[in-house]
Structure 1
Amino acid sequence: MPLVLSLIGSLLIVALLTQMAGMSGWSGRWRPLLLRSGAALPTMGAALALEALVAAMPLVPSWAVLVVAAPLIEEGLRWWLLQATGLTEPGAGTLAGGLMGVTETAFLVARGPSSPATLAFRALATVPLHACNGGLLTQGVGSLPLAVGCHAAFNLGFVLGGGIGYLTSLTALGLLAGGWLSLTMAPPERPIPSRQA
């Protein structure tokens, strides 16, 4: 039951963030966007497979996989996914990124049981991290350093553990959410009126 609640909560959070990013309504262009966003599931699966290969390499410490390899692989593939599928609007990127986060939760939970606290943190923090990064990465390759950096700092919190770990992860999420809000809440640009001779 905790797993089901975590996945349902994650999907609701992704839907809310996507709507906040300007993608309201569930008809018209939403349907093809949902189909293209479905590519997030195998993309996240590929990312986790690559991370497992890196983790299996000799002399690679587990913290390096979590703090260095995982952010580079996941954000690189997320950016590629958005470009390949044409999901270049913040709302569409938020949806695809959030679905990658939900997929990661499902994969990790399938490996073994997780505590209710872990599932709650994934729904309330990890999935929003993926969603916000998806929205930011629609702005092009220049947004990759911010996405990778915040993701790395977020994962560093897991390595540190305890109260300082939670503080590190939530601070990274807060910085990322601030950037996402500044992007999605910005007023639309007004067209420049043409001058007639």
Structure 2
Amino acid sequence: MAKPIAGPEIERLIQLLAKLPGLGPRSARRAALHLVKRREQLLAPLSAAMGEALDKVTICSVCGNIDTFDPCTICTDGSRDQSIVIVVEDVSDLWALERAKALNAAYHVLGGVLSPLDGIGPDDLTIRQLVERVHKGGVKELILAVNATVEGQTTAHYLMDQLEGFEVRVTRLAHGVPVGGELDYLDEGTLSAAMRSRTGL
């Protein structure tokens, strides 16, 4: 076991940073060193921003987006077509579609995909809330913008079964999304093309 190279506070900072996606132990050490060297310019504002986020950030009770308001900014935006709901796996997918400015519609975040091997079933996702949202009326089209993975397609088929009998058009992303691809890694042009070329199921 390697000996600590700094005090416990810095070691804890490194350990916490290493838990972030894309940061391993080496990258976390570099990031921690950079933050500590620039305490006034970076570490203090970052600490304040994280404290504020902890106090104010919440999950939207309507769509599942992350915001400081509930309902979120997207759900309360009067310029959006609330009759079209884009169904995504995660908030990162919602943000990717928003960056692409693909469609000015509403969203629904599932919170993942069905994955029996990982023990994730329908009750672990917001599928029931989506069905209730459609049941209330006002939704004319659901766009299933799930990833083109086996789990994503399984989830899409399950949603189709759950929505059978409702008078709602169900479409999915088409051209531009490769099989096995994930929305958060696609460029904005590809996402826009896929949204424009969506097809019925």
Q: What TM-score bracket applies, with the shorter chain setting the length? A: under 0.3
If the length of structure 1 is used for normalisation, what is the TM-score? 0.27
Which has more radius of gyration?
2
- The higher-RCO structure (CA 8 Å, 6+ apart) is 1
If the length of structure 2 is used for normalisation, what is the TM-score? 0.26
Task: Write 1 or 2 for the structure with the bigger share of strand.
Answer: 2
Task: Write 1 or 2 for the structure with the bigger share of helix.
Answer: 1
